[in-house]
Each structure stands twice: as C-alpha cells, then as structure tokens.
Copies of this chain bind each other. A is one copy, B any other.
Amino acid sequence: MDTSNAYIAQLERELSAQMNKLDNGFTNIGKALQYAVESGGKRIRPTLLMRVCEAFGGSVEGALPAAAALEMVHTFSLVHDDLPCMDDDDYRRGKVTCHRMFGEAAALLAGDALVIHAFGSLADGYINSSPKVGLRLVAELTEAAGVHGMTGGQDADLLFMSKKPDSRDLIKMYVMKTAALFRFACRAGAVCAEADEESVDTAGLYGERLGLAFQLTDDLLDLGQDESVGKVTFATINGFDVTKFLLQEAVAHAKGFAAKLPDSDYFIRLAEFIENRKK
C-alpha cells in the first residue's frame, strides 16, 4: 500500500527498541521474543492502527505503543498456534517456527512473555501522557484478545475439528479469531486520537468487516490446498462462489463504514486492496 513504508519503518524501530529491553541477560527468552517479532509479517494490523489515529487528527508517535502492543499480541498468537499441540507447524514466513528454533517449552514461555509485555507497552507508552487512554486501551486489547475475541475464536477453531460447524458458527469464529484484532486496530487508533465514542464504534465496525474480508480472502487463496488436506474452512464447506459473495458483502459493509471516517478514500482503497490481495 502506497506510503505505508514510512509507517512500517517507525513501527519496526519501536518494536526493536522494546525487544532490546526484554533481554534479561540471564536466559535466551529475549532472543526468542526478538526472533518471533522480527520474523517479518506485513504489519497490516499495527499500520492500520497508526493510519486510523492519524486520520482522526492524532499523532503517529502517540499511536506507536498501541501499534507495537497489537503486533506483539498477534505474534504471540502465531507462536502458540504453531506449537505441536496446536497446528504443529515447522515453518512460518519461510523461517523455522519459534519452537523449532528454541524448543517447545521456551516457545511457550516466549509467547507468554510477548502477551504480557504487550500490556507493558501500553503502560509504559501512556502512563505519563494519558493514563486514561492507556487503561482504556488495556480494556480494549483484553476484549479483542481474550475469550470473547481472538483466544475464544482459536478455541472454537479447535472445537470445529471434532464437531463440524455450520456456516453461522464458522463466521462467528472468524469474527472472533481474526476480525477482533482488526477491530481493535481501528478502535485503538481512534482512542489514541481521543476521538468521540461514536467515531470509535464506527472505526471498530470498519475494522471488523475488514478483518472478516481478510480471513475470507485467506480462505479463497488457500482453497485448493485446504481441500487437499481436508481442512474445515468457510470456503471448503461452501465453495468458491458463496465465499466470494460473502467477501464482497464484507468489503461493501467495510466501505460503507469507511465513508463515515475521516480520510475515507484511504480506508475505502484499503478494503479494495484486501479484497483483491494475492497473499
């Protein structure tokens, strides 16, 4: 996406600075955290948070601790998701997974530390400037990452391996597992800019639909491979056409909410970019 490189560069500096402080000089846990965080994803969630904050008149700098916290929570979920008792993956983004590199127990603890220090990023980042914003972000991140959001969605995903879900349950699981962090990205960006509550809600609805679209494009891009291994996804159950239709609906909803946001052109184009992404 266009100018987002400048945002990513700022985020990388913030993440690097935070990771350096997480070396305890005693064990390798700091190295495991660094390895996981530096395994270089697209940083789409934190960049979105920074863009929303700026659109509402906030400073990008003021959004950085929240953006770093979000990426740390996302990375924590990947580290635990890759563990043998979950997806048992050996590679992620072309590198060996954290537990293949550092061992299973060390990766479990590295994931634990990442989510703990994500909340630390919020505390350190806002304790002097605005404790109220900081604690509000803690509440929002808990809601997005906890049993009603990402972690609850991962638990539903597990459940569906033994008990075939219907389409409604699958979409509910997607909204929790994937869309909740996108919703957080947009709500948190608005909260950082101290936008009014109605704007926070509108931004959140945009983020949630964007996140659902993101998951549905994943389904479509992986359809062939998922079918070959018998994986249960909305697309493997309902086929390409219905999934594509639902994706278009989610994108249309997202664009509807984007129209109510400041800098709406950018957020509309982002929804279109997600719809047409090729990984």
Residues in chain A within 8 A of chain B (CB atoms): 22-24, 26-30, 33, 76, 80, 83-86, 103-106, 108-109, 111-113, 115-117, 119-120, 122-124, 126-127, 131-132, 134-136, 138-139, 141-143, 145-148, 151-152, 154-156, 158-159, 169, 172, 176
Contacts and interface: CB of A to CB of B under 8 A. Distances in A.
A80 B136 CA distance: 28
A135 to B, nearest CB: 4
Contact of A117 (B30, B86, B142): B142
Contacts of A105: 85-86, 158
Nearest to A85: B104
Nearest to A117: B146
Contacts of A28: 155, 159
A152 B119 contact: no
Given A23-B147, A109-B158, A127-B136, 14 more contacts: A22-B146, A24-B147, A24-B152, A26-B156, A76-B112, A80-B112, A108-B108, A109-B151, A109-B154, A120-B139, A123-B138, A123-B142, A126-B135, A135-B135
Given A86-B108, A159-B27, A172-B26, A139 B151 contact: no
Contacts of A113: 146-147, 151-152
Nearest to A26: B156
30 contacts: A22-B147, A27-B159, A29-B151, A29-B152, A80-B109, A85-B85, A85-B104, A86-B105, A86-B108, A103-B158, A108-B108, A109-B151, A109-B155, A112-B112, A112-B151, A113-B146, A113-B151, A115-B115, A116-B141, A116-B146, A117-B146, A120-B139, A120-B143, A122-B135, A123-B135, A123-B142, A124-B139, A126-B135, A131-B135, A134-B138
